[in-house]
A and B are shown apart, each in its own frame.
Chain A
């Protein structure tokens, strides 16, 4: 069978609606349109930059610390549930109200965190172990990451320094520790879903290896707070060998157990908005010259029992007369200001500075500068001089410099909400009971709180009602016009409530200044001049970095602090909540070892942080240096970049491999980990808060009790107690709880003084008795 031969093809007859090249072009154009639309949408909805814990907002202090929603802050981790590995013997504690075991085996467990009020928040913690002989930590970590790659699309190391994991450890053990940040996208058969961030770290105690991975798809803004929840579990981890309790070296010197992290310091650039309105009225401080050498000599003599000036503290007026400029010079400065149309507001009696104000136009003319407005990445607008202000020649002999012309936010509150100590449990844990029962509760004592915010009177009252406190109401003392109640009021309430927990009948005076417009020096000048309190508590600070703190501001603060010491005031200052990386609070990518100002001043008592573990009856068991590696938290500690180490800072552990002749911090410590924070009422709500800004008022309040006991025994003044604390730490038995485990994400805690917890936390009754005995000698 044969068919006929087909006729030739007629190309024109082949039907084509569109020629191939046109079709492909049409397709490409259509696809491009989709891509352009998608790009626009992606750019519109793309996430903002990772907010650092202290990003400034509006005209408030530089933002807030990581905060969980209110409902998540309800219960402290008390009597958590134990999960134990049957094969390897490690165990940890978790809060069953928040954590559920999703999967478990003999060597590991997967746990999911959730709270009913915020179903949008999630956190998963995976803890997996293996025998060290079979799997070293690095290999175990890689194994865990690989096992997640199937469900996390494109899982890889997160290269952003903002997300880096500093100081990895597992349950305070950092032997062969390794870890890092990872990121990817959750993948389901229906397609890629949420972005997922993972922090993973592994270590060994010499017998087993453990890897812990915390993962969340929750927004960046709350990631650090969530990671604190994972830290809360990991910090309870007990290795089968008990290594977490022996984590510190047995030697008397702190050892560098961790590799120094990569140094980066990329910083956001503030945007110039324009000239500051000439008619705007602003305040400023003239930092007056001081007889520094004479004052320094006097401060040394104050601590020298052989000196006739030993513990001979001066009044503000005496300080001004002995070390400040003359009356004639003060008058000349005042005349100069008046002639320029500027108004003198305060001339401090100690003559550390003069507070003045005027219009931008006149101030610019007086200091031969111009002021410009700048917008921080957060949107907050501040002003600062566009060129260095020049002190007029006529007053240059009397005036060192001017501060306050820049309103870039300076002071940060330092508080991390979570776990909880009530007045009763605080009393028990730190042995305040004997003093309280002896009637030493702060009666007749006054304490100054430095605040760059304010508080609602109803909050301390509610706290008092809740815990049956009947002390005098807290007084407001407004500096430079004071401050409205803002975001930092949580910090103010924390200071007040912790002091009232410890010294319930003391008179608290809250010195309130507008953040950014006044500095620490201005606040201290007011305290010194008022002369009402010789114990002060400062829970504010900022990274001690030249870009963040002008020489004049440092001088103004230091001068005021020196005057305070000469006045016999003990200033307790928080050492910071970012561990050894204070500047990370403002710039997450800043991994330099940095200290917190003014907590690193040699003229204050720097207070670091611990995590407190108590027995079932609330009595003291042990403390760890506070470090929340996943949540970027930890007690501040390290080296001051400028000021030398004071002579009185000596004793076991002080001179160590990291010492460089500069001031070392902290001096002391107390509970600060959010898992063992203090209960506070703020905004009418009761919840626990951690941070060194909780430990600081605790120390200040405890010192109030010591002062009262001392007065009762005829000692008029405690004065600046830092040197005494170092001497008492050498006693056997020591009135301090020496913290030997944990760290601050870089430095380990260890026997004697260390960069994580200083001398340690107090047995307050023992410390009071020891100090009184010491002062009576």
Chain B
């Protein structure tokens, strides 16, 4: 065990903290030379080597992933996307579609399992989260099959029916179904971190998107192993469906869930840290707008432009969720005492037990819970019931 270092007054939170590279209370970089900081400035709370504004998919939708596992997940995502592309290039579109539907949900399940996110009742919580998403996705998938025109008439966009249902109402219903997944967990004190809300929301969203896609497209699965079709549009579409859309849904729903958690579970003084973006009255319409916007892009744009605009849309949602996580992890920093040293799962060093690792700056809440003993939780005084 490392010897406890001398103390220093953090210039940001103004607490006396151990003189380590990072403030254990607020994660501030305490070294004079800013150029030594991995990201050149204050790092993302869940991955201090990255800027909070860096659009990293893995560290954002899997914030509790140990740094050592990031590459594995990144490689897996790339491998899955490559598999989808190869399948599409060989005109195995139905298989590619299945790959698109399961790729991100599978990673989320592996993530939840890998980091033992909910150590007390992992199976129940995970099952509820994922199953709600799957069930709602199947339900909405059947609804879309019923109300969204499946006839050849759709090909020429002959009516407002398509715009209203496929472009607006179904996306709104989908959004409502996705956000409804984590809401029942909001009153539980056990899950009162913003990170909890964001994780529940993201997990529910990706399960929903995958299940809805498979249900809605089940007719297509009956069109044979290698149906007729141009490969390039299919590659682009499968990447949209397999990566961009799930990421967008995970981020938008995760951000809204985070906003709800921030509003109703965080200490009163932290509720406005994200400004209007953290307020449900702004966050809910904004997320719904992102989801509807994505639907309209898919409805009216083609191939490259469609993919490009979807990526932009997804990036906006990603940055929003990232900020939500970052600020969520910074909350409640000053409310607890510095505890006994623990081993940081990210850098492997002994760090005083508080909010951030003293040596890598990672939020200790964003560490696998099995590896890191539960820390005392802050009583969210003033928190309102969900």
Question: What is A's interface to B at a CB cutoff of 8 Å?
Answer: 1-4, 6-7, 9-18, 20, 23-24, 26-28, 30-31, 34-35, 38-39, 41-43, 45-47, 102-103, 110, 112, 122-124, 126, 147-156, 158-160, 183-196, 198, 215-217
Instruction: Name the interface size band of chain B.
Output: 35 or more
A-B CB contacts (within 8 Å), total count: 275
Q: A24, B76: Cβ atoms under 8 Å?
A: yes
Determine how close the nearest CB of chain A comes to the CB of B377; give it in whole angstroms: 21
Q: A2, B19: Cβ atoms under 8 Å?
A: yes
Question: Which of chain B's residues 300-326 have a Cβ closer than 8 Å to chain A?
Answer: 300-302
Question: For residue B103, which residues in chain A have a CB less than 8 angstroms away from its CB?
Answer: 31
Q: B114, A23: Cβ atoms under 8 Å?
A: yes
22 CB contacts below 8 A, A to B, read A9-B347, A14-B348, A23-B110, A23-B114, A27-B79, A30-B110, A31-B99, A31-B106, A34-B102, A38-B94, A42-B224, A43-B225, A151-B157, A154-B228, A186-B150, A186-B154, A188-B148, A188-B154, A191-B97, A192-B220, A195-B219, A195-B223
Question: For residue A158, which residues in chain B have a CB less than 8 angstroms away from its CB?
Answer: 228
Q: Which B-chain residue is minimally distant from A21 (CB atoms)?
A: B72
Is B6 part of the contact surface with A, judged by Cβ < 8 Å?
yes
Q: B106, A217: Cβ atoms under 8 Å?
A: no
Q: A17, B99: Cβ atoms under 8 Å?
A: no
Q: Could you tell me the distance between the alpha carbons of A152 and B221 in the complex, rounded to whole angstroms?
A: 16
Q: B69, A20: Cβ atoms under 8 Å?
A: yes
Q: Which A-chain residue is minimally distant from B297 (CB atoms)?
A: A189
Q: A153, B156: Cβ atoms under 8 Å?
A: no
Is B199 part of the contact surface with A, judged by Cβ < 8 Å?
no
Question: For residue A7, which residues in chain B have a CB less than 8 angstroms away from its CB?
Answer: 2, 349-350, 359
Q: B230, A17: Cβ atoms under 8 Å?
A: no
| Contact A126/B156 with A13-B348, A188-B148, A193-B220 known, Cβ cut-off 8 Å | yes
Q: B68, A14: Cβ atoms under 8 Å?
A: yes
Determine how close the nearest CB of chain B comes to the CB of A114; give it in whole angstroms: 8
Is B367 part of the contact surface with A, judged by Cβ < 8 Å?
yes
Q: Could you tell me the distance between the alpha carbons of A9 and B157 in the complex, rounded to whole angstroms?
A: 60
Q: B216, A190: Cβ atoms under 8 Å?
A: yes
Question: Which of chain B's residues 176-231 have a Cβ closer than 8 Å to chain A?
Answer: 212-213, 216-217, 219-225, 227-231
Question: Looking at B11, B19, B153, B343, which has the most chain A CB atoms within 10 Å of its CB?
Answer: B153
Q: A189, B237: Cβ atoms under 8 Å?
A: no
Question: For residue B350, which residues in chain A have a CB less than 8 angstroms away from its CB?
Answer: 7
Q: B68, A16: Cβ atoms under 8 Å?
A: yes
Q: B2, A15: Cβ atoms under 8 Å?
A: no
Q: B216, A193: Cβ atoms under 8 Å?
A: yes
| Contact A46/B106 with A15-B367, A15-B371, A193-B150 known, Cβ cut-off 8 Å | no
Is B158 part of the contact surface with A, judged by Cβ < 8 Å?
yes
Question: For residue B370, which residues in chain A have a CB less than 8 angstroms away from its CB?
Answer: 17
8 Å CB contact of B346 from A14, A103, A110, A150:
A14
Question: For residue B152, which residues in chain A have a CB less than 8 angstroms away from its CB?
Answer: 112, 122-124, 186, 196, 198, 215-217
Give the dominant DSSP class at A's interface. mixed
Q: Could you tell me the distance between the alpha carbons of A195 and B31 in the complex, rounded to whole angstroms?
A: 62
Query: Would you list the 10 A-B pairs with minimal beta carbon distance, nearest first?
Result: A154-B229, A15-B345, A122-B151, A13-B348, A102-B158, A215-B152, A189-B295, A38-B98, A15-B371, A189-B298
Q: Could you tell me the distance between the alpha carbons of A35 and B83 in the complex, rounded to whole angstroms?
A: 10
8 Å CB contact of B116 from A17, A34, A47, A198:
A17
Determine how close the nearest CB of chain B comes to the CB of A126; give it in whole angstroms: 6
Q: Which B-chain residue is minimally distant from A181 (CB atoms)?
A: B228
Is B171 part of the contact surface with A, judged by Cβ < 8 Å?
yes
Q: B72, A47: Cβ atoms under 8 Å?
A: no
Q: B19, A4: Cβ atoms under 8 Å?
A: yes
Q: B220, A195: Cβ atoms under 8 Å?
A: yes
Q: A183, B229: Cβ atoms under 8 Å?
A: yes
Question: With contacts A3-B19, A42-B224, A191-B216 known, what are 10 further pairs, Cβ within 8 A?
Answer: A3-B8, A3-B22, A14-B346, A31-B103, A34-B102, A189-B170, A189-B171, A189-B298, A190-B148, A196-B155
Question: Which of chain B's residues 82-120 have a Cβ closer than 8 Å to chain A?
Answer: 83, 93-95, 97-99, 102-103, 106-107, 110, 114-116
Q: Could you tell me the distance between the alpha carbons of A38 and B99 in the complex, rounded to whole angstroms?
A: 9
Determine how close the nearest CB of chain B comes to the CB of A753; give it in whole angstroms: 40
Question: Looking at A41, A149, A189, which has the most chain B CB atoms within 10 Å of its CB?
Answer: A189
Q: Could you tell me the distance between the alpha carbons of A188 and B168 in the complex, rounded to whole angstroms?
A: 12
Question: For residue B35, which residues in chain A have a CB less than 8 angstroms away from its CB?
Answer: none
8 Å CB contact of B241 from A11, A28, A151, A191:
A191
Question: For residue A185, which residues in chain B have a CB less than 8 angstroms away from its CB?
Answer: 93, 220, 223, 227, 229
Determine how close the nearest CB of chain A comes to the CB of B71; give it in whole angstroms: 6
Question: What is B's interface to A at a CB cutoff of 8 Å?
Answer: 2, 5-6, 8-9, 11, 19-22, 30-32, 66-69, 71-73, 75-76, 79-80, 83, 93-95, 97-99, 102-103, 106-107, 110, 114-116, 141, 144-145, 148, 150-159, 162, 166-167, 170-171, 212-213, 216-217, 219-225, 227-231, 233-234, 237, 241, 294-296, 298-302, 343-350, 359, 367-368, 370-372
8 Å CB contact of B21 from A3, A12, A17, A23:
A3
Question: For residue A20, which residues in chain B have a CB less than 8 angstroms away from its CB?
Answer: 68-69, 71-72, 75
Q: Which A-chain residue is minimally distant from B91 (CB atoms)?
A: A154
8 Å CB contact of A190 from B72, B73, B170:
B170
Q: A122, B153: Cβ atoms under 8 Å?
A: yes
8 Å CB contact of B155 from A2, A35, A124, A189:
A124
Question: For residue B300, which residues in chain A have a CB less than 8 angstroms away from its CB?
Answer: 150
Q: Could you tell me the distance between the alpha carbons of A15 and B116 in the complex, rounded to whole angstroms?
A: 12
Determine how close the nearest CB of chain B comes to the CB of A20; give it in whole angstroms: 4
| Contact A124/B156 with A9-B347, A34-B106 known, Cβ cut-off 8 Å | yes
Determine how close the nearest CB of chain A comes to the CB of B367; give it in whole angstroms: 7
Q: Which A-chain residue is minimally distant from B143 (CB atoms)?
A: A190
Q: A190, B158: Cβ atoms under 8 Å?
A: no
Q: Could you tell me the distance between the alpha carbons of A153 and B301 in the complex, rounded to whole angstroms?
A: 12
Q: Which B-chain residue is minimally distant from A13 (CB atoms)?
A: B348
Question: For residue B170, which residues in chain A have a CB less than 8 angstroms away from its CB?
Answer: 189-190
Determine how close the nearest CB of chain B comes to the CB of A486; give it in whole angstroms: 30
Determine how close the nearest CB of chain B comes to the CB of A41; give it in whole angstroms: 7
Question: For residue A188, which residues in chain B have a CB less than 8 angstroms away from its CB?
Answer: 144, 148, 154, 162, 166, 216, 298-299
Q: Which B-chain residue is minimally distant from A22 (CB atoms)?
A: B72
Q: Could you tell me the distance between the alpha carbons of A123 and B150 in the complex, rounded to whole angstroms?
A: 11
Q: Which A-chain residue is minimally distant from B302 (CB atoms)?
A: A150
| Contact A156/B220 with A26-B110, A102-B156, A102-B159 known, Cβ cut-off 8 Å | no
| Contact A24/B75 with A13-B343, A189-B295 known, Cβ cut-off 8 Å | yes
Q: Which B-chain residue is minimally distant from A155 (CB atoms)?
A: B230
Q: A148, B156: Cβ atoms under 8 Å?
A: yes
8 Å CB contact of B80 from A18, A31, A155:
A31
Question: For residue B66, which residues in chain A have a CB less than 8 angstroms away from its CB?
Answer: 14-16
Determine how close the nearest CB of chain B comes to the CB of A46; give it in whole angstroms: 4
Q: A38, B221: Cβ atoms under 8 Å?
A: yes
Q: Could you tell me the distance between the alpha carbons of A2 and B29 in the complex, rounded to whole angstroms?
A: 10
Q: Could you tell me the distance between the alpha carbons of A183 and B228 in the complex, rounded to whole angstroms?
A: 6
Q: Which B-chain residue is minimally distant from A126 (CB atoms)?
A: B156
Q: B80, A154: Cβ atoms under 8 Å?
A: no
Question: For residue A12, which residues in chain B have a CB less than 8 angstroms away from its CB?
Answer: 348
Q: B234, A190: Cβ atoms under 8 Å?
A: no
Question: For residue B221, which residues in chain A have a CB less than 8 angstroms away from its CB?
Answer: 38, 41-42, 45
